[in-house]
Amino acid sequence: MGRDGESGVYNRCAALGTTMRPTWAEISLTNLQHNFATIRDYVAPNATVCAIVKANAYGHGAAPCAKALQKEGAKWFGVTSTEEGVLLRKAGITGHILLCSGFWRGEEEAVLEHNLTPVVWDWNHIELLENVAEKMDRAPESVAVHLKIDTGMSRLGIPIADLPQMIEILQSAHSVMLEGVMTHLASAEVSDAPDVDAQIMRFDDACVTITTAGLTPTYFHVANSAGICTRESALKNMVRPGIGLYGYFMPVMSIITGTPDHSRELPVMPVLAWKTRIMALRDVGARQPISYNGSYVTQAPARIAVLPVGYADGLNRHLSSRGRVIVRGDFANIVGTVTMDMTMIDVTGMPGVDVGDEVILIGESGKRKITAWDIAGHAQTVPYEVLCGISARVPRVYID
């Protein structure tokens, strides 16, 4: 295409308000609300849903997603840190906010000021909260906490052997009140994993120990998205869906058969679509090296499109000469190395392709679809990382 032709396309893009770097993610809040309602109805009336919106809502945008979920009826939200919780409060979230990874020393005052609910597993947590509650003249049993039990994940949580001492500390606390007890499953997506059964049994025993001692927590929670589908015994009176809210489930696997059982997954819909536009076209000859180090060489004359998206945007380098995108309703292969800011695709033989055309990285067009699972397969990772890895420089556009 000549200079005048390119200018004409750029002028049309400008008229459409697309003069900024055209790589963006579209977030369907309608799909998000549908997914929440699907999970809520599945566990109703026995369980409350704590919607996990940590890590910027798995890359979807924590504040807009939490607002949409609150509008749909969510009363609980799960985040990783005090900072994430405070941001939700400032965005207008009025429901309970659970700090799933606890809090750091020095954050306890912010925890109380913003009415956040910390997860605890160490006596120091209780001491810090008690001290700041006394300083702020808080009423007795006004600081709610959820106690995390390490039942076998060996990551966070109080060891079972230390539980009696923690019970004594909680019993003697003045302002801190045990509102919930929780654990985390290591193999929730494996339907017949014996370690999951063992973890649930340890958790149930710990809860008996806690209640027998006279403590009266309201909530008991074990199940994440996979646990909701795989283990009825994990469905206590609260569940913590994360990836399921955003339209994905880890495949439910069986140790015995080694095959996924998709029938156990709930009918959720992907919330995010990731798009860009063609910024340049190049007609090249046969045996032409493409991208850094000539990592791809054409076998015949080809038409190469350049996309303004790269690994700095979160497009994994493992997609180099391996992944694909959707252009004009059909697949086009990524060729050469995915670079920091740009990626090349082969559009040879695709009629009408032009600068400014929309390109789908995640999403669907007609009969073609690319999911976070597809990218994860090429990158040898999981959809969690794909979605969370879409960088902050990619604007999120909320289409509903």
Residue 254 banded pLDDT, cuts 50, 70, 90: low
**Residue 353 C-beta-side C-alpha neighbours within 13 Å:** 27
Strands 48-52 and 76-79: parallel
Instruction: Give tens-digit pLDDT for 137-176.
Output: 999 999 999 999 999 999 999 999 999 999 999 999 999 9
**Residue spans per domain, the chain:** 3-25+271-398, 29-261
- Output the furthest CA–CA distance in the chain (Å, rounded): 80
**Fold for domain 3-25+271-398?**
Lyase, Ornithine Decarboxylase; Chain A, domain 1 (2.40.37)
How far, in whole angstroms, is CA 288 from its chain's centroid?
Answer: 40
Catalytic choice (71, 90, 135, 292): 292
d(CA 330, CA 183): 45
> What value does the mean pLDDT take over residues 288-299?
93
Query: Does the pLDDT at position 260 exceed 80?
Result: no
The CATH number of domain 29-261 is 3.20.20.10: yes
Catalytic choice (54, 67, 236, 275): 54
What is the average pLDDT value for the chain, to the nearest integer? 92
Instruction: Give tens-digit pLDDT for 47-89.
Output: 999 999 999 999 999 999 999 999 999 999 999 999 999 999 9
Confirm whether 54 is a catalytic residue.
yes
Amino acid (one-letter) located at 216: T
Residue 261 banded pLDDT, cuts 50, 70, 90: low
Confirm whether 71 is a catalytic residue.
no
Tokens found for residue 69: 């979920």
Query: pTM, whole model, 2 decimals?
Result: 0.92
d(CA 254, CA 383): 20
Residue 257 banded pLDDT, cuts 50, 70, 90: low
> What value does the mean pLDDT take over residues 199-209?
97
